[in-house]
Structure 1
């Protein structure tokens, strides 16, 4: 019978260790988040944060921002444990492993874990993506959390909310048992999702699109797996994946909130020491160039889903700022060119968008639109024409200036909360970006010109070499109305 070999945590010793540090009176001279520059059209908002960076004794990278004004601490662990790490014949294993964290430990069942966090006013969550898996904790940290060594009051120390929340977190991370009943329950939930997807043409189209774009590359299979792959996954598979991917060398720890440097370092050390020991997983390979062309999924409907895609960029690509700003003009916002030409002038859709998704390996560039089935071919040609024109000529000066103003004005909203900051730090740590990435990005955006956008789009996109997937009925086609002559828009089918 398979038996896991997990690093054991001594609960009483850890309680005493956390208690010894996380009690007493806080020091209020910690670094604060610096204010964002005053909003104006020129210059752009900068985002200067006092980011502390170090590695634990075991080598885990840690990023920390102290914010003593909000009496909360956000803890986020980012593992290179997304669906791109699934074994070829076990798609969905990464998602299952992540979902089962918190379902049971050697000392507590799922109800005891949930009640434990709830009674402490703490929020625990997990999520799984293609590149990464995330474990998050938000805890109250308004009570005294550092013992005054001078007073030597160890016998009077009482564990605080933060200390107990962290103790429970380390137990969940270090002693998961992945119970068979929980595994069966989540498998059943996924099976129900697969049945729902059979009635969801948009989901079917997206699954086929990624298969077309990436083939046998780790990004090519659905993150949630398939009916066949999920059925084959066992508890032993989950335990093996946990040992390989949820180890201290394969993680980044992010701390944001009410803590000083010494406390943050102690917390990070305790979390990292609770994780299994292992090796950082290797970098993902580069995907092969996909074969351009059209694929169609026949589906009885009043409308057609259209997806146009190409390989995009890695998160570290130097063209990121130019492509991001250019895409905002092309199809990233409500006032974008695609929205104006396809939705506003012709009424062909309720919504159309385009997006680059930079990832560890080149992520996708996708244009997505739903339209009336009888005008799907004309809509596809119109979208291709708009993209080709944008690649060839770029935006206008007015479009560029408006996009910069909008970005400069909205950027502070990306740092409104500790959780927002933790998300930004997680990307910096996981993708190994410079610590001043946010400030650097805004300065790059300020300097982006029309020629920069044209050159960046030309380097990465070709309107004649797109992977195109449609899902809808085969039906006779109608000509598109001229600009300004709207037709009745088709209400999109909900996809969830």
Structure 2
């Protein structure tokens, strides 16, 4: 007898072979009772349904002093729900042959599900997901176990230069915003089961939910799925916009660490989702540091001078203004010289923008690679969830390539001037002290 896992695996193996490249997606949308928004793409290429439920329950919603509670809450949803304990949930997942997933970041907490689309297995899978979303029990033993696991991970991270860098960089770039508050041993230790229950009740509501569905179901079936997943949630209050982060003062922070490599991040608040400068910045950043070996930063820092194996830049648009960041690692003795090259490369790009040849090469790469974003149900689901979760236009994917194609050198130059200012760039350097030829540095402790 062929198992559910074998059938699901066979269907997944056909994904790349049977899905064609889409110019975009026919996204249908509606709102269910209670206020949850639904975004649906009907696709019968495979007998699979992918579902994701996103809640406005990420790190930005966390009370001061409780950083880490968003991730703990999300992680404990399958530790017990309804009349099912953790073992029963795991057995149910195995019996149904479904795949559960999800995560929590600064803006969203998500639960995702992949199941075969036949009615019997689909119903069992959706019922299970609804139970996890609507009836978590947060067992005390599981809470303490996951807290201990998180604390152990944080203690280990506090010895690693890259983790120290992430914490110090976030705090310096977002000093007055939740985006700058990352979990610590102290904040996670302070979280109680009552805190988790309260966070869940305030944030896992229908008004704060977005349901994304992609796959082998009809519109009527998708409506039933969305209603089943959110119908048992309290309506709650519609989320309010978070306050924008003020631009930080330009500064350099050096953090001692015995690593031979200096771990470096340079950046500031960049753009939010839906910013009109998004496409000029995407294309421009590909040229500056997002295009791997063809980017200017790689050519100047790695190829010409050998200061770093990898150097990169990116914009991370979020619900509020997410970071613009340049990152690299280099020997401690070379850190100051590498920083000078990065600064000069960025300054020239801000002043002049890219060349026409660089612009055309970047456009060609971004346009030609676009189809890979939509070559499976899973990737389509990710794109639909972003569109729904951040309120992007429904034709965002349909118009993506045309908007990339329309970007000009002048638009890139002006967009970068609006969003990247040397006066507000924060530089954080962690480590490099283990390089015996490095100059002695002083600075704040991590």
How many corresponding residue pairs?
419
For residue 118 of structure 1, what is the aligned residue in structure 2?
A: 94
Distance 1:36 1:455 in 2: 33
Matched, 1:406 2:382: no
For residue 369 of structure 1, what is the aligned residue in structure 2?
A: 328
CA drift at 1:126: 2.4
Q: Is the 8 A contact 2:67 2:187 kept in 1?
A: yes
Matched, 1:298 2:256: yes
For residue 432 of structure 1, what is the aligned residue in structure 2?
A: 391
Q: Is the 8 A contact 2:60 2:179 kept in 1?
A: yes
For residue 446 of structure 1, what is the aligned residue in structure 2?
A: 405
Q: Is the 8 A contact 1:53 1:64 kept in 2?
A: yes
Relative to 1, partners in 2 of residues 1:269 and 1:350: Cα closer, same or farther, differing over 3 Å?
A: same
Residue by residue over 1:121-179, the C-alpha shift from the partner in whole angstroms, topping out at 9 and shown as x without a partner, is 101112010111111011111x3x3xxxxxxxxxxxxxx01011111111111110011
CA drift at 1:81: 0.6
Distance 2:401 2:237 in 1: 35
Matched, 1:183 2:143: yes
Alignment of 1:41-440 (within 5 A): 47-141=23-117, 143=118, 145=119, 160-222=120-182, 225-334=183-292, 335-440=294-399
Q: Is the 8 A contact 1:64 1:255 kept in 2?
A: yes
CA drift at 1:344: 1.6
Residue by residue over 1:260-290, the C-alpha shift from the partner in whole angstroms, topping out at 9 and shown as x without a partner, is 1111111111111022331122111111121
Q: Is the 8 A contact 2:367 2:404 kept in 1?
A: no
Distance 1:414 1:252 in 2: 21
Residue by residue over 1:367-393, the C-alpha shift from the partner in whole angstroms, topping out at 9 and shown as x without a partner, is 000001101000001001101111111
For residue 456 of structure 1, what is the aligned residue in structure 2?
A: 415
For residue 426 of structure 2, what is the aligned residue in structure 1?
A: 467
Q: Which runs of 5+ in 2 are unaligned?
A: 1-17, 440-446
CA drift at 1:346: 1.6
For residue 14 of structure 2, what is the aligned residue in structure 1?
A: none
Structure with more of its chain in helix, by fraction: 2
Greater C-alpha Rg: 1
For residue 491 of structure 1, what is the aligned residue in structure 2?
A: none
Q: Is the 8 A contact 2:176 2:246 kept in 1?
A: no
CA drift at 1:345: 1.8
Residue by residue over 1:197-248, the C-alpha shift from the partner in whole angstroms, topping out at 9 and shown as x without a partner, is 12211111111111111113111101xx211111111111111111111101
Q: Which runs of 5+ in 1 are unaligned?
A: 1-32, 38-46, 146-159, 479-496
Residue by residue over 1:298-332, the C-alpha shift from the partner in whole angstroms, topping out at 9 and shown as x without a partner, is 01121101110111001110000000111011101
Q: Is the 8 A contact 1:171 1:274 kept in 2?
A: no
For residue 26 of structure 1, what is the aligned residue in structure 2?
A: none
CA drift at 1:463: 2.7
Distance 1:265 1:387 in 2: 49
Runs of 4+ in structure 1 deviating by more than 6 angstroms, as ranges, are: none
For the residue of structure 2 that corresponds to 1:274, the secondary structure is coil
Q: Is the 8 A contact 1:254 1:425 kept in 2?
A: yes
Q: Is the 8 A contact 1:387 1:463 kept in 2?
A: no
For residue 41 of structure 1, what is the aligned residue in structure 2?
A: none
Q: Is the 8 A contact 1:34 1:50 kept in 2?
A: no
Residue by residue over 1:322-359, the C-alpha shift from the partner in whole angstroms, topping out at 9 and shown as x without a partner, is 00111011101222111111112221111111000001
TM-score by length of 2: 0.91
CA drift at 1:57: 2.1
Distance 1:425 1:108 in 2: 31
Distance 1:35 1:272 in 2: 32
For the residue of structure 2 that corresponds to 1:331, the secondary structure is helix
Q: CA RMSD in A?
A: 1.5
